[in-house]
Chains A and B, each alone.
Chain A
Amino acid sequence: MNIYTYIIRRLLYVIPVLLGVCAIIFVLFNLVSPDPTLIMLGKHASVKQMAELRAELGLDRPMIEQYFDIVKSAFTFDFGRSWTTKQEISEMIKAGALPSLTVTFPAFILATVIAVAISLFVAFYRGKFLDKSVVLLCVALMSISSLAYILFGQYFFAFKLGLFEISGYEQAFPDFIPYVMLPILILIIISIGPDVRFYRTVMLDEIYQDYVRTARAKGLGEKMILFKHVLKNAMIPIITFVVIRLPFLILGTLLIESFFSIPGLGGITLNAINSSDFPVIRAMTVLSAVAYIIFSVITDVLYTLVDPRVRLG
């Protein structure tokens, strides 16, 4: 198959996936979920009140129309209004995306750089004591609940030692930095374990390839092999792993944002979950699914362009 045919086919595949995503969201939130009017009005609502509210929320319209509303919102990003705050959801998203990114983006970049560096380092000492202890440490870090990290970090470093702000946020540029320091630190610690393990496997997969043996046979030093050959080839899975996780940065982190009162999308989502605010939850789901689909197309296309070994079929 020609590479352009492949790219076009991959782009066209977005359509059934997007329709499928909307179908799942529709089934979950419009079809089988408990009647939202009952949640909003409480147990003692009269039938008339419920019918009025249903009409107001547009829940009495034909199912197929409600489904295509979701599909349409995936393109227009017009998600309607929140049931609780009555705000325009697209405005809420615009306001919340930046605070989320101020936490997730630096944390993601730092965690990736640190994890790749550590994994190169342990790949150099593979099978030795140092390698084994780093792997064990990573597994140990992964075995602690992220909630425990947040609770302990906030209590000990911010409350007891007073090294960081306990919670809060400022919108202006340099002012928010003290508020996001500890969340970033906690996020790095949460993600460093799985990241190092993943990158280490990537490095080791490369180290046992034939070209490494060739490089060794022609007399190259181990460091030269690692940095010039292994790292270069390992870049492909590393970039894939990085790109595919980018869309989730916008969504922020539910737990960290709510604990540190950061007014990001994670916090908005959490509030929506607590108040059964279906349009907001649905909007966040559509938003992240669309971002995920776009980025997975980008990775797939990049993959075929960058790596000639990828078979098209």
Chain B
Amino acid sequence: MEVAQVQSTQKEVKEQKSKSLWQHAWSSLMKDKFAVASIIIVAVYAILAILCNLGFVAADWAKEVGPSYAPPSSEYLFGLDIFGRSVLAKTLKGTEVAMSVGLVTGIISMIIGVFLGGIAGYFGGKVDEVIVWFYTTFSSIPYIMLLVAITFILGKGILAVYLALGLTSWVNLCRLIRGEVIRHKDREYVQAAAAIGGGDFRKLFLHILPNVMHIVIINFSLQFQTAIKSEVILSYLGLGVQGRPSWGTMINDAKLELARGNWWQLAAATAAMFVVVLAFNTLGDALRDALDPKLKGK
């Protein structure tokens, strides 16, 4: 009995020692109260967005439920808008746009950034020169102008928002990935992979990429909240989402309402956005602390 216990504790010790970087990161993430809270908030928003999309939540946001501009009361929790629609339902419906904009633009910029950064860093030489030239050029043009130009071309609507935000936000990730890949490509494990016959793309995407993945994850988290904030600006410029509620269009509506003292639409959209952007910001910081080996011990 005792022997068995001793053996089992020894086993535990062994298991603790062989924790991978990811397990380490996960356990240190779970110790961070802010990080856990952020993950829960993001999960709640994500579930809400999915439920909205499936029609379980706020499907009747367009319905007129009371008088125009009814202030918040026990009956109308967040008040009503100009058409007598529930601000609460619109805010909830807005999570769908916000979360999908964050997710899709995050994925677009991740694919472009990782691919270009990866091949630039790995192959070096002419490929590197061309890609560095391309992103230097690209980043010389102000973000907002590119955004406007792309939405001009694609027309209005959510697809244009996805593409405009995705296509303009990959430069930073590309630059970081390129730098990391350059540092990794001559290490022993890559040489070992070459020795057993791994080709260039295999070495780059199967061996090096998992080792720079932490940068991608941190960047994704920060990109997500930037996209949510940018959607608001695009809506203000009249280039945003059309025909369905988003926090951007709600805040945009508020500019005419505020002078009449109708503050609830602005407050609801700002609050909904504040919570999720704050969660992503905190999560990004926590991920950086947990995943970036350079910061260990600080």
A interface residues, Cβ below 8 angstroms from B: 16-17, 20-21, 23-25, 28-29, 32-34, 139-140, 142-148, 151-152, 154-155, 159, 204, 208, 248, 251, 254-255, 259, 270, 273-274, 276, 281, 284-285, 288-289, 292-293, 296
Contact across chains for A273 and B258 when beta carbons are under 8 A apart: no
Question: Which residue of B237, B251, B255 contacts A145 across the interface (Cβ within 8 Å)?
Answer: B251
Given the known inter-chain contacts A20-B134, A144-B270, A155-B259, please indicate yes or no for A33 contacting B149, CB distance below 8 A.
Answer: yes
Q: How far is the CB of A207 from chain B (nearest CB, A)?
A: 10
Distance in angstroms between the alpha carbons of A151 and B236 in the assembled complex: 12
Distance in angstroms between the alpha carbons of A248 and B148 in the assembled complex: 17
Distance in angstroms between the alpha carbons of A155 and B277 in the assembled complex: 24
Given the known inter-chain contacts A145-B270, A208-B298, A270-B237, please indicate yes or no for A289 contacting B141, CB distance below 8 A.
Answer: yes
Q: How far is the CB of B229 from chain A (nearest CB, A)?
A: 6
Contact across chains for A20 and B137 when beta carbons are under 8 A apart: yes
Question: Which residue of B137, B145, B251, B281 contacts A151 across the interface (Cβ within 8 Å)?
Answer: B251
Known: A21-B140, A148-B251, A159-B259. 11 other contacts (CB 8 A): A17-B137, A20-B134, A25-B141, A140-B274, A142-B277, A143-B225, A144-B273, A147-B236, A255-B233, A259-B255, A292-B141
B152 in the interface (beta carbon within 8 A): yes
Contact across chains for A273 and B281 when beta carbons are under 8 A apart: no
Ordered by A's residue number, 21 sampled pairs between the chains whose C-beta atoms are within 8 Å are A16-B133, A17-B133, A20-B137, A23-B137, A28-B146, A33-B152, A140-B278, A142-B277, A143-B274, A143-B277, A143-B278, A144-B270, A144-B273, A147-B252, A151-B251, A151-B266, A155-B258, A159-B259, A273-B237, A284-B145, A293-B140
Contact across chains for B278 and A288 when beta carbons are under 8 A apart: no
Q: Per-residue CB proximity of B221-255 to A under 8 Å, as 1/0?
A: 00001000100110011110000000100011011
Majority secondary structure, A binding face: helix
Q: Inside 8 A of A289's CB, which chain B residues have their CB?
A: 140-142
B144 in the interface (beta carbon within 8 A): yes
Distance in angstroms between the alpha carbons of A276 and B149 in the assembled complex: 10
B138 in the interface (beta carbon within 8 A): yes
Q: Per-residue CB proximity of B158-172 to A under 8 Å, as 1/0?
A: 000000000000000
Contact across chains for A139 and B137 when beta carbons are under 8 A apart: no
A292 to B, closest residue via Cβ: B140
Q: How far is the CB of A305 from chain B (nearest CB, A)?
A: 21
B136 in the interface (beta carbon within 8 A): yes
Distance in angstroms between the alpha carbons of A24 and B155 in the assembled complex: 19
Contact across chains for A145 and B153 when beta carbons are under 8 A apart: no
Q: Inside 8 A of B232's CB, which chain A residues have their CB?
A: 145, 147
Q: How far is the CB of A41 from chain B (nearest CB, A)?
A: 17
Q: Per-residue CB proximity of B188-218 to A under 8 Å, as 1/0?
A: 0000000000000000000000000000000
Distance in angstroms between the alpha carbons of A151 and B232 in the assembled complex: 13
A274 to B, closest residue via Cβ: B238
Distance in angstroms between the alpha carbons of A23 and B137 in the assembled complex: 10
